[in-house]
Amino acid sequence: MVSYIAGVQDKFYNGEVDRNLKKIRSIVSKTKELQPEAELILFPELAATGYFLSEELYDVAENQGGRIEGEMSQLAREFGVILAYGYVEQGEDDKIYNSLKVINEAGKTIGNYRKIHLTPLEKGYFTPGNEVVLIESSMGKLGLMICWDLAFPELARELACKGAHVVLAPSAWEQPYNKPYNRFGMARAIDNTLFLVTVNHVGKSGELEFFGESGIYGPDGERIAGADNDEQIIFALLDQEIRKEWRKDFFSMLDERRVDVYKI
């Protein structure tokens, strides 16, 4: 299986859902113009609502089946592309979650992931998720992660053991931590012999300054596509047959794990 994937690195507006949705539509149109064969477009963490940390998060939080989902569903159908985007999810008992939603090319929601590993600042507002999410799509099995999840090898390994072909990891990673961001992406890909796509914000949000440097990593950990510090769309061709060959010929770690000795 061979498929094109696109990652969006851009600036989104805090609390301005309408403005963000308008921008997302423009970006989707541009992406399909640049690469008509793109099958999936990944947007950054909380792209639909903007990444910020204040009580105003409750004002933009959305239940399942809400307006953002409806507009993104229409957009996915219109352009015939899988869309993956971050948003603030309104959950049970007035709890809110930092979530990633995936809508397929037919406009159907096929996945919703609540960020498991929250940063210390995020813990003041969001409730952590407690479910590992792997979804089936037209381009294979997709494992879902968000930002700081990249720092935890256990989650990526769990997704790999469940059969993930590609891991999506939208982010909002700030200065001065660009080196760990890049290294975590590379490590999670090579650890598990899979493709990993992570996209970051650019610009400022309050005291946070985002540096971009989005990347698409191959099963050998190589950065096969990447951005610098500006607004960009990155593309890569993901060849699952190569991934299978590498896993058989050299990167055979998953098959050689000693689960009789350790459990991770």
Q: What integer is the mean pLDDT of 133-137?
A: 97
Question: Which one is catalytic: 45, 105, 174, 213?
Answer: 45
Which segments of the chain are extended strands (E)?
Answer: 2-9, 38-42, 82-90, 96-103, 109-114, 134-137, 140-144, 166-168, 195-198, 202-205, 208-211, 215-217, 223-226, 232-239
What does the block give as tokens for 212?
């971009």
**What's the rounded Cα separation, in Å, for the pair 24 and 114?**
21
Question: Which one is catalytic: 101, 115, 174, 213?
Answer: 115
pLDDT band, residue 258 (cuts 50/70/90):
confident
Question: Which one is catalytic: 122, 147, 174, 213?
Answer: 147
67-79 helix and 17-34 helix, angle to the nearest 10 degrees: 10
211-248: pLDDT as tens digits: 999 999 999 999 999 999 999 999 999 988 888 888 78
**What's the rounded Cα separation, in Å, for the pair 96 and 110?**
20
Q: What integer is the mean pLDDT of 113-134?
A: 97
| Known active-site residue 16 | no
Average of per-residue pLDDT values in the chain: 95
Q: Which amino acid is at 123?
A: K
| Known active-site residue 22 | no
With 0.75 as the threshold, say if the pTM is over it. Answer: yes
| Known active-site residue 161 | no
**pLDDT reported for residue 93:** 82
87-107: pLDDT as tens digits: 999 998 889 999 999 999 999
